[in-house]
Chain A
């Protein structure tokens, strides 16, 4: 199953999972469906365009034929071995980031909490660089990344519960964590043997360059497990957002739900980091945009966040390849350069409220 199919399945699931207990007005649900359909179409078109663009322009009908293995062998090779895995990897990474961000923001009840701002991504980076240094095979990297992300998130959660750190304090602690983990990455890099240094450097830039089917397969397996879990957890998150007392009253196991949200947010961030390296701000932005157009947390919001994340990473990768051609920018650099001002604006708005 490809990442696209996973997303498609997730979309197909939406009508069932929106059936939250209690009466819901009809309009938001219809709106949610419309938005999700539109986003799916947008992401699909984006994917096709990304397949068609590149150092050699290929017409759309040819692309579609080549995806199915028809046409001249050169085109089939370019499409099937070079462009398709890259596009699918971008979609998978974006989907994972969007979902991870939504879960984490819901869990920490903080709109600025996203894995890359509060040090979860750098925790995953640190674990992955250490794993690269220890010559762990490529398929082991997602596991290492997820572990690193999990450790960072757990640390934050422990600090969070101990200080009852409200909004900005938690983000600031996360920034400290991020600084420590980044320094750890630099320290590890200095000790890497020359042969592995190059691999680690390319990966740290947050690039989708030269992603192959191994990456796509690894990401798809991860998403196939983590995304359904995310949807399942989301129903409980919606109850959790009403406050702990109400949630306990509604029969939701608060602690276990928190732990689950934490774990799957870390797994999703880990998948993204392992495939593409640290890609900034998508996990922050995608859930925000999703909540803005769909409304408060429910299944359609998660679907929208997943689709928006996929679209953002894809767009960043295409922009990075084309903007300063022939110099290619890593997708992570594009999202960081464009996403950071968004974070500033967000802080500004938080202050106004």
Chain B
């Protein structure tokens, strides 16, 4: 792949991201004239429409960008570390584990919502570990489909427990329910701000890990020959991916399939080099999530469909296609 092509892809992805950013601010369940949206962005606060833009649409756009970046990069790292095209926060149980832990922390233990990200990290990590253990317990070791299946079943279990918890704690159910469906609505941008250092650190680590992951993709022996330590690289990539996914869940709820689709699109555009894939995923992740969110605002007017629902509708067929491809070994 030539440099020109990479730059072209990056430019196009940036354009897509900008377009979705604009759409996310301009389009909503309440139609607003463009002039008022621009006024609101420039600081006007007189009309109701100005408040809608500044207090509702801008924060949810920020939340969408943070969550989208985290999910996209997390997916790239997981797929690289496990060398499994099905690996993603959703299919490894991380999203469901984080969701369950946040519900326990917020709805049952009544911890303040600052703890949500820690709960998400712990829960996601535990679910990930269970899925890995379960997948590697088999006689023929870790196969891509087996790992995804274990993760999916861990997810099924955790989400059914989450439902049961919500039924018992009906009073707290309402505040959590929208978040659980993966909604960006009503997100407070200030809640995402303290997490920004984690996101930046995660992105930097991902960048550093890109070359070692490239080596890993040649196989463990070749990677050792190139001076890498596969186990260490895997652990670092796994923990980074976990942290990023936890941030995404804490900000936007358990949003499915973004971490699965984005790396595939990115690889299709720029090939398999991890740096190029990461750079593309950072742009495409938020673009996809924001597009899903905007779509969710318009399909059921005046009601809204959560972004997580839209990404599931887009992502499930992608999952089926990847599984059906013969390249994926059993």
Residues of A within 8 A of B (CB): 117, 159, 162-163, 165-166, 168-169, 171-173, 175-177, 179-180, 182-184, 186-187, 190-191, 205, 280, 324, 327, 329-330, 333-334, 336-337, 339-341, 343-344, 347-348, 350-353
9 contacts between A and B (CB under 8 A): A162-B324, A165-B323, A168-B146, A180-B313, A183-B312, A190-B300, A280-B160, A327-B167, A327-B170
Q: Please report the C-alpha to C-alpha distance between residue A176 and residue B181 in the assembled complex, in whole angstroms.
A: 17
Nearest CB to that of A185 among chain B residues?
B309
12 additional contacts (CB under 8 A) given A327-B170, A348-B134: A173-B320, A176-B317, A179-B256, A329-B164, A333-B163, A334-B164, A337-B164, A341-B157, A344-B150, A344-B157, A350-B138, A351-B138
Chain A binding site: helix, strand, loop or mixed by DSSP? helix
Assess A190 versus B137: contact at CB under 8 Å? Given A176-B317, A205-B167: no
Report whether A184 and B313 are in contact in the complex, using a CB–CB cutoff of 8 Å.
Answer: yes
CB of B152 within 8 A of CB of A336, answer: no
Query: Would A329 and B149 count as touching, CB distance under 8 A?
Result: no
A180 in contact with B312 given A324-B168, A344-B153, A344-B154 (CB within 8 Å): yes
Q: Which residue of A lies closest to B143 (CB)?
A: A168
Nearest first, the 5 A-B pairs at minimum CB distance are: A351-B138, A340-B157, A336-B160, A180-B316, A183-B312
Binary contact readout B287-330 vs A (1 if CB under 8 angstroms, 0 otherwise): 00000000000011001111001101101110110011010101
Residues from chain A with a CB closer than 8 A to the CB of B164 are 329, 333-334, 336-337
Cβ of B139 and Cβ of A351 under 8 Å apart? yes
The interface size bin for chain B is 35 or more
Q: Which residues of A contact B152 (CB under 8 A)?
A: 172, 175
Known pairs A336-B164, A337-B160, A343-B153; A191 contacts B300 (CB<8 A): yes
For window 159-207 of B, CB contacts with A under 8 Å fall at: 160-161, 163-164, 167-168, 170, 181
Q: In the complex where A175-B152, A176-B317, A180-B312 touch, is A187 in contact with B323 (Cβ < 8 A)?
A: no
Complex: how many Å from CA A324 to CA B166? 13
Find chain A residues with CB under 8 A from B170 CB.
327
- Nearest-Cβ distance from residue B5 to partner chain A, whole angstroms: 32
Closest residue of B by beta carbon distance from A197: B303
Task: Output the nearest chain B residue to A167 by Cβ-Cβ distance.
Answer: B330
Contacts of A353 in B (CB 8 A): 139
